[in-house]
Amino acid sequence: MPEHTFRVNGEQVTVDVDSDVRLLWVLRDVLGITGPKYGCGINVCKACTSHLNGRAFNPCAVPVRDLRPGDEVVTIEGLAATAGGDLHPMQQAWLDHDVVQCGYCQPGQIMAAVDLVRRVAAEGRDITDADLDGIRNICRCGTYARIREAIRAAAGS
Amino acid sequence: MATSRRRFLGYVLAAPVLVAAASPGEAQAAELLDLNDIMTAAALPTSGLITVEINTDGTVSFALPRAEVGQGITTSTAMLIAEELAVPVHRVRVTLADARPELLFNQLTGASNTTIATYTPIRVAAAVARKRLLAAAAVEFGSDDLRLADGVISTADGRRIGIGELAAKAASPRTLAVPVELTAKDDFTVIGRPHGRVDARDAVTGRKKFAMDLAVPGAKPAMVCRPPTINGKPGTVANLDEVRAMPGVTDVVTISTGVAVRAETFGQCIDAVRALRVSWKPGTVEGKSDESVLRELAAAELPLGPRPITPYVEGRFTFHFRSNSALEPNCAIADVRNGRAEIWSALKSPIVAKQTIAARLGLPVGAVTVHVTEGGGSFGRKLFFDAALEAAEMSQKIGKPVKLMWHRADDSRQGRTHPMATSRVRIAYAGNLVLGFEQRHTSVTTDLGHGLGELFTAMAAKLPIGDKAFAQTFFQFSHTSPYDFGLHSRLLSETGKGFNTGSMRNVYSPDTTTARELVVDQVAGRMGRDPYRFRHDMLRGERSRAVLRTVAEAGGWGRKLPAGVAQGIAFHAEYKAVSACLVEIDCRPETVNRPIRDGVAGPRVTRATFAVDVGLAVNPLGLQAQMMGCVMDGIALTLTSSLHLRDGYFLEASWDNYFYTRQWNTPPELRIIIMPSDSDQPGGAGELGVSAAMAAVACAYGRATGTMPTTFPINHGTLSFVPKPTVPPIPASPVDGLDHVR
C-alpha cells in the first residue's frame, strides 16, 4: 500500500493506507485521533471540521492522497497548542457560555468558529448576524444560540 | 411535601470502603397521577441497589443507572451528591452503569423522569455516607464537634482529615441500616445554583469519548448495505467474492437486516457497501406513500361526540413523519466470541437490550455484558438498540469484534421515526364560556417496545384505568387538561404496522398541543378575546398563569409589528412542570425567500421568549440549555423538518434533506426565564419545552399569514432537495474537500 506523509497536530506522520481513503478515516481509524466526528460523510453536517494549514476543511471529503508532506492538519486535539495554552480562547468561550450539550458536534463547531473569526478579522470587520447565520455546522441538541454568544465573546476578546 | 427536614432510611453496605445506598422508599409511593408518578414508583423498589462510594483518594464514585445523551444528568447527579456530602462537584465521578437486570424498571431513561425519580434516593445514599464519615471522624478525633466542608472534616480546634482517609474507616463489614435527614432546601449551596457541565472540558478538547471513539481491541469498522425500501430483506449477493477482495475489507456476511461488511476503515466499508450487488426482498411498507398513510389514518380516526347544540370550532391537523436521528448515528461495538458477548453503546433501555441480545444470540442473559456509553444525542432514538442487535449478530456470525455504525443515509431512511399523525380538535362554547374540549389523535403506531410497556404492565394493578393498551395508557397519562374547558374527551387511535417508529422528544404532546393551541386561538377570535388574556383566564392554577403572564410581559405581547410579522403564544404542562412560549415570526417575502444554499429559509422566528417552572431546578444552567434546544426543535417541527414517504421509503438521506433547525433558522433573540419556585421537588425538563415552542410558532405563523396552518411542517408540500438514489443505499464520499477551503 502507498505511504502518505503529512503533519497532524504538530507531529509528522506516515500512514500506510489506500490513496483514496478519506482523511477522516485515516485520522480516526488509522491514527486513533477521534476528536473529528462522523455525522454524514458527505461534507454536509461539518462535525469533522478541522484545519488544514490554518483554514477550516472537512476531512470526510479529502482523499489522503491530496495531502503533501508539508501540510499541517490540526484537529480539535491540537487546537489549544496553536494558541500556546491549555485551551484556545474559543474553547474557553465555549466553557464560559456552557455551550455544550451532548458534545458530539462541538469539536467541529469550535474549529469552524475559529476559522470564521479568522476570516472576519482578515477582512477587518466585526462578526455580524449574517456571518453567524452562515455557519452550516448542524447541532441536533440546538445549542445554536450559545454558539453565537461564545463566538461573539471570543471574537471580541 | 414538607419542606422541613424529613427522615429517611438508608444503608451502609458491607464493603472495604464506604458504600452507601438509600432504602427502598415505599413510603413515598403516592397517588399515581401522571406518567412520571408511574415511572418513579416503578423505580423505587430497587433504589437501594444504587450506591454512592467514597474512594481513598477523596473522590466519590457513582454509577448512574441512566443514559447521558446530552441532557445533563451526569452534572445534576454530581450536584446532588456534592450537596449532601459537602464535597466539590468536580470530585464526584458520575459514570454510566452497565446494564443491571436486578434494577428491573430503574434503568430506563425516558419521559424526562431521571431527576424526578432519583432526586431523593441519590441524596439519601449520599447523606448516609456523610453520617458515617462524621461518625468515623468522631472516633478518630474523640470529638463530636465536627464540620464537613469541601471534602474535609475539621474540628473546632483545627484538626483536619479528608474523607478519602476515612473511606476505609467508615466502611462496614456488614450491612447496616442508617436513618438520615436530608439537607433542607434553605441550606442548599449547590442544588439550585447554575453549574457548567461536568464533561464540558472533555467535550471542547475532543477528549469526550462516544461509542465509536472507543479503542476495543480488534473491533474494526463495520457497516451494513441496506435495502432500497423500509425493512426490505436481503436475498442473494451477486458479487460476494469481488467485494471480499476489495482494499481493506476483512469480512462480508449477510445478516437479518442486510449485508454487513467489516474493513480496516469506515471509508473502505462505505466503498464496499456501495459495490455490493444484492437482490432485495420486499419491505414491510412496500408501495406506501404519505397519501396512502393519510388515508389509513382517516379510516382509523375515532369519531367525535355528537355535534354540540352550541357554537363550536373544529380543526383537523396533519403531522408528517419526522426523524429522531441524533447527530451520532446508530452505532455499537460488539464482541461475541466463545459463548460470551460484550456490547458498548449509548442505550436508554440497557436491560431490555441485554435480554433481547441474549435471546437473539442464544446465550444466557448472564453471558452478555452491556456497557452504556455516553450518547451523542437521543431525542428518543436511543430508547432502542437497533445497531447493538446488528453488531451482536454480525460479530457472532464472523467470530470477530466489530465497531458497527449506520451511515447518515441509513439513519435517516431506515432509522426510527416519529409516526405520522392527525389530530382533530373541537371546542364548544357559548358566550364567554367554554363548554367542552374534544381531541381525537390518530397516529401510525408508536413502538414503545423498549421496556416502557413492561413497566406499565407491572404497575397496571395500581393504575385507575385498568388494562387498556399501554399506548393509550401512555397517551392518557402524559396529557393533562390545563384549561378550564368544561368536559374533556381525549382519545388516541393507532393504526398500521411496518414502520420503524419510536418516541421522539415529548412523544405525542408537540402535535396534540399544537392542534389544541391553534383551535384555542380560533375560539378566542370568535369570542372577540385577546388570545393571551383568554388563555390566562382559562388556565387552571396560578403556577400556570404565572408562566404565561411572564412570557407575555417579558416578550412584549401585543407590541406593534409590521405587516407579515406576528406573535404567537402557547402553553404546555407535563412532567410536573409548566411552560409558556411567546415567539415573533417574520413571514415577509424578503425574509421567506432569502437565499440559502442547500437549505430551507422560509419564515424566520426572530424572537422567542420562554418561561418554565419545573419546581425545584437542580441546575438552572442545564435547564436553560434544555429549553433552548426544545425551542429549536419546536421551530423545526412547525416550519421545516419532515420525512417524505414515497414508494415504501423515505426520500431524506442527508442533513441537507432533513431540515432540522440550522443557524439561519435560529432566533437572533432568545430568552429563557426560569421561574422562582418554592417547591422542594424537581420536575422533568428534557422534553418539556418542545410542545409550547412548536405551538407558539404555529400560532404566530397563522397570525402573520392570516391563515390557520393545518399541515406540519408548513413546507412539507414543497420538496426542497433532489432525493438521493436508493441503490446503492449510501452516497459516495466526496473528493473535492480542498476546493471548498476558504
- Give CA torsion, residues A122, A123, A124, A125, to 10 deg: -120
pLDDT at B269 over 80: yes
Among residues B683, B689, B686, B688, which one has the least CA distance to residue B671?
B689
Mean local confidence (pLDDT), A52-57: 98
Quickly state the pLDDT bin for B460 (edges 50, 70, 90): low
Using a CB-CB distance cutoff of 8 angstroms, which residues of chain B are in contact with residue A57?
Answer: 737-738, 740-741
Mean pLDDT of chain B: 94
B176 forms bridges with which residues in the sheet? Answer: B12
d(CA B384, CA B471): 17
pLDDT of residue B29: 46
pLDDT of residue B38: 80
ipTM for the assembly: 0.98
Q: Which three cell numbers mark B515?
A: 392542534
d(CA A34, CA B210): 9
pLDDT of residue B480: 76
Q: Do A28 and B270 touch (CB under 8 A)?
A: no
Among residues B130, B259, B184, B163, which one has the least CA distance to residue B7?
B184
Which of B207, B662, B741 lies closest to A52 in CB terms? B741
pLDDT digits (tens, 9 = 90+) for B633-673: 999 999 999 999 999 999 999 999 999 999 999 999 999 99
Mapping DSSP onto H, E and C, the string for B25-90 reads CHHHCCCCCCHHHHHHHHHHHHHHHCEEEECCCCCEEEEECCCCCCCCHHHHHHHHHHHHHCCCHH
pLDDT at B2 over 50: no
Quickly state the pLDDT bin for A42 (edges 50, 70, 90): very high
Q: Do B408 and A35 touch (CB under 8 A)?
A: no
pLDDT of residue B543: 97
Which residues fall within 8 angstroms of residue B287, CB to CB, at 6 or more apart? Answer: B647, B648
Which of A25, A107, A142 lies closest to B629 in CB terms? A142
Using a CB-CB distance cutoff of 8 angstroms, which residues of chain B are in contact with residue A110?
Answer: 204
d(CA B630, CA B394): 37
Residue linked to cell 435517516:
B412
Closest residue in B to A45 (Cα–Cα): B655
Quickly state the pLDDT bin for B466 (edges 50, 70, 90): low
pLDDT at B577 over 80: yes
pLDDT digits (tens, 9 = 90+) for B96-155: 999 999 988 889 898 888 898 899 999 999 999 999 999 999 999 999 999 999 999 999
Which residues fall within 8 angstroms of residue B428, CB to CB, at 6 or more apart? Answer: B308, B310, B311, B312, B434, B435, B436, B486
Mean local confidence (pLDDT), B581-593: 98
Q: What is the DSSP string of B516-571?
A: HHHHHHHHHHHHT--HHHHHHHHB-SHHHHHHHHHHHHHTTTT----TTEEEEEEE
Closest residue in A to B634 (Cα–Cα): A142
d(CA B584, CA B587): 10
pLDDT at B26 over 50: no
Quickly state the pLDDT bin for B48 (edges 50, 70, 90): confident
Quickly state the pLDDT bin for B359 (edges 50, 70, 90): very high
Is A83 within 8 Å of chain B by CB? no
pLDDT of residue B475: 82
Compute the nearest-CA separation of A31 from chain B (Å): 11
pLDDT of residue B462: 64
d(CA A41, CA A60): 5
Percent of chain B with pLDDT over 70: 96
Residue B50 sits at φ, ψ, to 5 deg, of -110, 125
Residue A12, class by beta-carbon neighbours within 10 Å (0-12 exposed, 13-18 middle, 19+ buried)?
Answer: exposed
Using a CB-CB distance cutoff of 8 angstroms, which residues of chain B are in contact with residue A39?
Answer: 327-329, 408, 655
Counting one residue from A and one from B, how many pairs have CB atoms under 8 Å apart?
A: 234
Q: For residues A137 and A49, is the Cβ–Cβ distance under 8 A?
A: yes
pLDDT of residue B1: 37
Using a CB-CB distance cutoff of 8 angstroms, which residues of chain B are in contact with residue A42?
Answer: 408, 654, 731, 733-734
Mean local confidence (pLDDT), A86-106: 98
pLDDT of residue B3: 41
How do beta strands B312-319 and B711-712 pair?
Answer: parallel
Is A100 within 8 Å of chain B by CB? yes
d(CA A112, CA A138): 11
pLDDT of residue B465: 55
Is A105 within 8 Å of chain B by CB? yes
pLDDT of residue B477: 74
3-state secondary structure of B410: helix
pLDDT of residue B31: 65
pLDDT of residue B25: 59
* Amino acid type, B615: G
pLDDT at A24 over 70: yes
d(CA B248, CA A149): 44
Closest residue in A to B375 (Cα–Cα): A102
3-state secondary structure of B118: helix
A 28-47: CB under 8 A from B: 28-30, 32, 34-45, 47
pLDDT of residue B479: 77
d(CA B531, CA B583): 13
Q: Has this prediction a pTM greater than 0.90?
A: yes
Chain B interface disruption, residue of A27, A29, A120, A123, most B CBs within 10 A: A29
